[in-house]
Chains A and B, each alone.
Chain A
Amino acid sequence: MIGYILRRLVALGLTLLAAALVIFVVLEILPGDPAAVTLGLNAAPEALAALRAEMGLDKPAVLRFFLWLGGLVTGDLGQSYTYRVPVLQLIAERTAVTLPLALMAIALAMAIGIPLGMLAASRHGRLADAGVMAFAQAGLAIPNFWFGLLLVLVFAVGLGWLPAGGFPGWQSGFGTALKALLMPALALALPQAAIIARVTRSSMLDTLQEDFVRTARAKGLSEGTTMRRHALRNALIPVVTILGLQFSVLIAGAIIIENVFALPGLGRLVFQAIAQHDLIVVKDLVMLFAGLAILINFAVELLYGLIDPRLRQS
């Protein structure tokens, strides 16, 4: 077992290193000079040279790669070319928007999707079932940026209840900040809610055929109690799996939604950094996302290894 974990750890280290190398090389090949972007069309050559030295761009590429790697290990992600502040600070600021947004969206999706799925399962083949399925179809078909714009038109422009976009920051008070995240989270949650409703419905229908449900009914429990107390718990396992699988879709959706609602989140940071050639931010963020994906994979493999001894032999 120890040998297995060590082997996996070495593989993990090599994978992370390979990812770092690929990211660095790809961004190195991109044409464009961050210093030229900062100083514009009238820049004097000596000003460009001074700025390149300030940004550390005058060192050879190999040295810069190892300096960057060393920084990643010690938690020093360097300075943003655009903003000229530590990248770590930028990532922390933006995570404070994106993470609550994603969590709110997941919570909303579950709060909408699970009850609807249960309703459809309990009214299988009747009008309510058809209604929920139609909602799920629409929720998957409607692009979430368009739905976001629609929300803005109704609740911000029309009714004036909510801000049309932007984020006043957590220092403006918890309520104000949540208010700014409500519409974007709803727009982000819609397709997820549709998927959850469908999965809940089908796994609920499967579970209702099981023996233990029949036993519960035979004990004389009401249909509602049977569903909530016995069937739902088992039916939710595939829903949780789907939520895990949908995580990357959620992040991709967040990038679009953050742009629609002008939210200063990680998604918009990646977007801006690419447009402004803030390559160090792009490098760090892509590495962060890749690293997370690799680590999650590693954890899953370890767990499988613990569960199934046969996998450790390979």
Chain B
Amino acid sequence: MTTRRELLAGAGLAALAAQLPVVALAQAKDSVTIAQTLEPPTLDPTSGAAQAIREVTLQNIFEGLVKIDRTGKIQPCLAESWQIADDNVTYRFKLRQGAKFHDDTPFTSEQVKFSFERAVAPDSTNAQRQLFAPIAEIATPDPATVVIKLKQPTANFLFGLAWGDAVIVAPATAANNKTNPVGTGPFKFVRWNRGDRLELARNDGYWGEKPALAKATFRFMSDPQAQVAALRAGDVDAHTNLSAPEAVPQLKADAKLKVTIGGTEGETVLATNNAKPPFDNLKVRQAIAYALDRKAIALGVYGFDVTLIGSHFSPLHPAYVDLTGTYPYDPAKAKALLKEAGFPNGFNCTLKLPPPSYARRSGEIVAALLAQVGINAAIEPLEFPQWLERVFRNKDYDLSIIAHTEPLDIDIYARDTYYFQYKDPSFKELIAKIAVTLPEAERNALYKQAQEKLARDAVNGFLFILPKITVANAALEGMWTDWPLPVTPLAELRWR
């Protein structure tokens, strides 16, 4: 006589047995489809600034001498080790033996010299020329050694070598990398259907550990609804950074998917024209800072908590200090400061917004918060090229909202021609000191001072860090959940 319990157990076993072949199939799966919001315009990270180029190619097709890992630390890549001489300007790189390009060209010191000299050539269209500006000379004593001499000690020189703009390319193929990229990375370019998808295949001749996946496809979808539908239908295995924050609760409820909210290097700021009255008045800028309810802004844009900031620095960096308490939300104080500044009835100004949804959405809320203290900011939506021309280049603006996504870019506040027009001599000194201070503890202390100065001076309204909303199939392991650099390394992915 079988009891009901035994029957149930039997049924359970049968169900398990039925699932076994499915599990075996899942393990055998060796391809992945990753969705990302924007399509890269070209596939050459050394001749364009688009983040989408890096997301697809960096650490997949192309590699630099060093790379950034998922925690933001510098790791060896095409250079297996390096030494910095006592003069603090001579870097000696020992190169990886046996690495070769996808067309079988062996990787040697010659290509390193070629790549870095190409980046600063007169006809170069490298978007980050300043990374290479400190280089005085590049010597190649033998195929496995590169010696780079700098003009002056440069604290972040190595870090810059991990960027997409500093990947190593070969003389014979460099000119065609825009459409047919040839690098040294773990994945090879196969095909690109522009407007839809790009296919990569494992590079079986890779110098490092063999990737678990044989095939990878990037799909490009800018429409938030389409992103959610593709994830729920299983058309794609992951999305690197979802543009539909409102869909997070329903995706979290889907057992097939896992959702993580991580950080990026994108400081979202209420950019302020510090040279234009009344914003040249510290009291006015402080009033704006007190008027900004950052938590409400972030909740309104995303519907969940994201990292709030009080200065221009990312919490992913060890030198980060939390300065959100410098000017806490206090509309009464904001009004009082405006009165002191000579605006008892507030004033009118414009708020120019670029296209990204985070900017448009936070713009609405910021305008409402400013109106509460008497500042009437008229919203002007702009397309990105017009934003670049009018706000960024011609500095024809009062307020604007944009995320500055380059890592460690606090030095932009020290640039005279930059559109914030901050022009503060003591801050410039601080940044100059940071650039030549190599010991990390000392440098981080200086970074803290720099953050505090920007917060105190209320140079911009500091809002929040752009989140990275990663949605992936629950069985897919190895997706980056933070973006110390915007990359999606396919070699780190595997199916459970």
Contact = CB atoms under 8 A, between A and B. Distances in A.
User: Do chains A and B interact in one complex?
Assistant: yes
Given A37-B384, A37-B388, A85 B233 contact: no
A41 to B, nearest CB: 7
Contact of B388 (A33, A46, A259): A33
Interface residues of A, number: 54
Given A84-B179, A262-B223, A50 B41 contact: no
A166 B219 contact: yes
B49 A42 contact: yes
Contacts of A42: 49, 127-128, 130, 406
Contacts of A82: 41-42
Interface stretch (B151-159, B189-197, B458-466): B189-197
B233 A160 contact: yes
B261 interface: no
A275 B232 CA distance: 28
Contacts of B122: 46, 50
Given A32-B386, A33-B385, A33-B388, A83 B48 contact: no
Nearest to A155: B233
Given A38-B49, A84-B178, A260-B223, A166 B125 contact: no
A94 B195 contact: yes
A54 interface: yes
Interface in B93-146: 122-130
A46 B229 CA distance: 44
Interface stretch (A62-70, A264-272, A285-293, A300-308): A264-272
Contacts of A260: 223, 225-226
A153 interface: yes
A47 interface: yes
A167 interface: yes
Given A32-B388, A36-B385, A83 B229 contact: no
Given A84-B178, A156-B229, A50 B194 contact: no
A262 B384 contact: no
Interface residues of B, number: 47
A91 to B, nearest CB: 11
B389 interface: yes
Contacts of B232: 157, 164
Nearest to B387: A32
A166 B197 contact: yes
A34 B385 CA distance: 7
A30 B18 CA distance: 63
B50 interface: yes
A277 interface: yes
B390 interface: yes
A264 B195 contact: yes
15 contacts: A31-B386, A32-B383, A32-B388, A38-B48, A41-B392, A43-B49, A84-B178, A85-B194, A93-B195, A160-B234, A164-B229, A166-B230, A274-B383, A275-B384, A277-B384
Nearest to A271: B222
